[in-house]
Structure 1
Amino acid sequence: MFDRAKQILIAGFCINLCIGILFTWSVFKKALVVDLGWTNSEASLPYTVAITTFSITLLLAGILQDKFGPKRVLIAGTICSGLGLIASGYITNPTQLIFTFGILAGGGIGFGYACLSPAAMKWFHPSKRGLVNGLIAAGFGIAGVYLAPLITSLIGSYGISNSFIILGIALLCIATPLAFTITNPPPHYVPIASSKQTDKKVAVPQKEMCWTAMLKTTQFYSIWVMYLCASSTGLMIIGNITSIASAQAGMTDAAHLVVILALFNTSGRVFAGMLCDKIGGLKTLSLSFMLSIANMMLFPHYTSHIGLIIGMATAGLCYGTLPAVFPSLIAGFYGLKNYGTNYGVVYTAWGVSGFIGPVIAAVAVDTTGNYNLAYFYSAIIMGIAFMFSMLTKNPAVKPIGSVGKEENEMLNKKVTA
């Protein structure tokens, strides 16, 4: 069964490598403006719609996968994503691209992303929950590192329309077959704890909660606010990388900073997942929030190339903590039975933050001509997040070895017979 668990983890990572195309839109945008003569607003709107659709469909997909299992929802998501990209190759105006990429592809990506973490977590012991989430999320984060140069090369060789079609076909051929392998474990499957870990403790919910019961707990609102604050700060930096580099260091070409941020974002997901398993999710978030506060306070002083690299790397590391730790928190507080729906409700915080972060940056630049005010506000926001991370009460903890290893093995042999 452990081999099956590893197969689920690897397949989930690879699917995220495919659907992570969502965050390479800047490459498409440049081609739409330069090659097709679209305005910046016209070229940006499909991405904005895709982000919104992604956030909404993640909640819907969470509800569906809790009811029907991850496979069918994930297959539908990968097919929608691939068809959306293929259809984008035949568009003739911005309105059509809003539908094909913004709604069809964006919705498909949301359906796919929603199913991978809950399925993988159910195959592994709770002591590995953080690492599993970190590795799954790492596939989505690192996708831009290889997809950005690949898409640039495709557009240069075949044009933007054919590039959409090629990428859509590739996604269908790679991600959809992998989606058929993603399943929940059998009903009586109990993951086995390592003998070296039986003296440790992990967060175990006192009972499985549905989303309505979750909303009645104070922890939910603390988690939601923390996610909102941390995401707002991260997205503020991510959405303004090149502009910040130009304004503070006079850099006209800052594409490499995007890659640096993506690499540290990915590293942050894995590292934070491992740290979460060792010291707990709330303590991991507290450390990340403190680092983010210090980084925001120092950001006005990053006026050199090296300084900006340090700032972007730190921002990527902190932002990468979120998709690794928050899923583990939700599972630890409210269980896995209704995890898809519960995390979808919490994830609405990310959708709201997508508006707050850019607004903070825009207001700062419009009123002062630089980003210093945005850094100041972000430091305050992160201070609020840190306060909630210190005040939030942990769920009950139980010894990892509370279920005997022999009982686990007997159950697993029974369900595989």
Structure 2
Amino acid sequence: MPAEAPRARFFYGWVVVGAVFGALFVAFGAAYSFAAFFNALRDEFGATRSDISLVFALSGFLYFGLGAVTGLLADRLGPRRVIAAGIVCIAAGMAAASLAQAVWQVYLTYSLGVGVGVGLVYVPAVGVVQRWFIRRRGMASGFAVAGIGAGTLVMPLLAAASIDALGWRPSWVILAAVALVIGIPAVLTIVPNPADRGLYPDGDRQPPPALGPAGGPAVRQAIRSAPFWLLFGAGLSTSLGIFIPFAHLTPYARDQGYSDAFGALLIGFIGIGSIAGRLLLGSSADRLGRRRSLAGTFVAMGLCLAWWLTAVQAWALILFALAFGAAYGGFVALIPALAADYFAGRSFGAILGLIYTSAAVGALAGPTLAGALYDARESYDLPIMLGIALNGVAVLCTLILRDPAPVPRPAAAPAAR
């Protein structure tokens, strides 16, 4: 049997994975640390849960909704410039939010700055990883987006401790400084393509076999295809429920008699679970099949939300956070990897960004609707049950979706004579 083509001893693609990990740590750590600020902002401004959840919802809408634009910008200007601009926007938004005197000013500072900033970081950063890997794409994507889980673990806990010690205003300034200290060095380490270093994907010594038309499908061709709309539909359906815990788990914990610090800790447990989900599911999906593995994450998220309906005791809430985080983490790792299986090429950044606009609707509608329903009914049961049902729709989309073409093995190295 012919031997597989030899690889370099050290592959720079893993450095790129580490750099993307750092950029996503900053971006989503800033976004999901908002849970630690929820009750402080509500008490400061005398606002309703719907008003405060809109801060998070607007930022989520922006960073997913801008994916199509930022993916196109990264394709044309290069991802490093776009990601660097995003890190600066995130830091500026949090620093400016520390000066807010009314909720609408938090919308204009935190929501706008963090929303635009994460939008500039997310799709370009994730898209870079897909260019460096083919066979190991699920594993590499899982390691890279584990930065989201790590940020979700560390930043809310840092924010909660800082708020207890210093108040919410200085805490946003501290998080802004952390974003710059970690984010800028990470961006400087990113190399957009393996060809920029004279390398091929996965560290192979020879180029991979052609997988379709040169350069991959164009944007117009992609959006006319069934895989695009099925991935879009799955992302839209599941995202309506995904973002409810990130905005409302902390106030839910307070309703059960727990402290805000415990609520922030629950968000941290989601981060711990998501790290495991991204690493384990991202790697195993390369062997088990990415489409089937993605369907499994939707089933798991639905079951976790069903558990949340009755979770009152501390151990039950912790278990929910860990399990939900694992399922959510697998989803985040697999969506870009599976999309690349269908649409890899020069336009992939723009195509991936368009798929992510599905999550923009969920990020805006899910937390805001949950807050409005709570204000009207004083219960989260109805939005949680809606999230369960919509994960069923996401499962159906992935079951209808056909598997992508298998990835060929690289050509065998010439036999030594």
TM range (shorter): 0.7 to 0.9
CA deviation string 1:143-166 (max 9, x = no partner)? 132222322333344443333333
CA 1:304–1:78: 2 relative to 1, 3 Å? closer
- Say whether 1:101 aligns with 2:110: yes
Question: 2:5: which partner in 1?
Answer: none
Q: Counterpart in 1 of 2:228?
A: 220
3-state SS of 2:189 partner? coil
Residue in 1 that maps onto 2:200: 190
Q: Show the 5 A alignment for 1:8-407.
A: 8-19=16-27, 20-34=29-43, 36-40=44-48, 43-124=52-133, 126-185=134-193, 186=195, 189-192=199-202, 204=211, 208-242=216-250, 250-253=256-259, 254-255=262-263, 256-358=265-367, 361=370, 370-401=379-410, 403-405=411-413
Residue 220 of structure 1 deviates from its aligned partner by 1.0
Distance in 2 of aligned mates of 1:270 and 1:339: 23
* C-alpha contact (below 8 Å) 1:296/1:375 kept by paired residues: yes
Q: Secondary structure at the match of 1:184?
A: coil
Deviation at 1:347, TM superposition (A): 0.5
Deviations 1:77-101 (A, max 9, x none): 1122222233333444433332222
Alpha-carbon shift at residue 288 of structure 1 (Å): 2.0
Contact preservation (8 Å) 1:193, 1:400: no
| CA drift at 1:74 | 1.3
Q: For 2:138 and 2:114, locate their aligned partners in 1 and report how far apart those are by CA, in whole Å.
A: 28
Q: Residue 5 of structure 1 aligns with which residue?
A: 13
Considering only aligned residues, what root-mean-square deviation do their CA atoms show, in Å?
3.1
Q: Between 177-186 and 290-299, report the one with greater CA deviation.
A: 290-299
- Alignment CA distance shift 1:306-1:105 (3 Å): closer
1:329-352, CA deviations, whole angstroms, 9 ceiling, x for partnerless residues? 111001142121111100111111
| Cα separation, 2, equivalents of 1:153 and 1:230 | 32
Q: Percent identity?
A: 22
Give the Cα–Cα distance (whole angstroms) in 2 for the partners of residues 121 and 384 of structure 1.
27
Which deviates more from structure 2 when the two are superposed, residues 85-94 or residues 146-155?
Answer: 85-94
Question: Normalising to structure 2: TM-score of the pair?
Answer: 0.83
Change (3 A) 1:82 1:405: farther
The answer to whether the Cα contact below 8 Å between 1:192 and 1:405 also exists between their aligned partners in 2 is no
Name the CA distance, whole Å, in 2 between partners of 1:106 and 1:293.
27
Q: Tell whether the 8 Å contact from 2:16 to 2:129 is kept in structure 1 after alignment.
A: yes
Q: Which amino acid aligns with 2:175?
A: L
Name the aligned partner's letter for residue 338 of structure 1: S
Query: CA 1:202–1:167 in structure 2 vs 1: closer, same or farther (change >3 Å)?
Result: farther
Q: Which runs of 5+ in 2 are unaligned?
A: 1-7
User: When the two structures are aligned, how many residues end up with a matched partner?
Assistant: 397
SS at 2:135 equivalent: helix
Deviation digits for residues 394-414 of structure 1 (CA, Å, limit 9, x no counterpart): 22113222x34579xxxxxxx
- 1:349–1:306 Cα change, 3 Å: same
Q: Is this contact kept in 2: 1:12–1:116, CA < 8 A? A: yes
Cα distance between partner residues in 2 of 1:287 and 1:164: 37
Displacement of 1:193 in angstroms is: 6.1
CA distance in 2, matches of 1:238, 1:171: 20
Quick one: distance in 2 between partners of 1:202 and 1:276?
A: 22
- Superposed CA deviations along residues 199-223 of structure 1, whole A, max 9, x for unmatched, are xx99955661122111110111111
Structure with higher RCO (Cα < 8 A, 6+ apart):
2
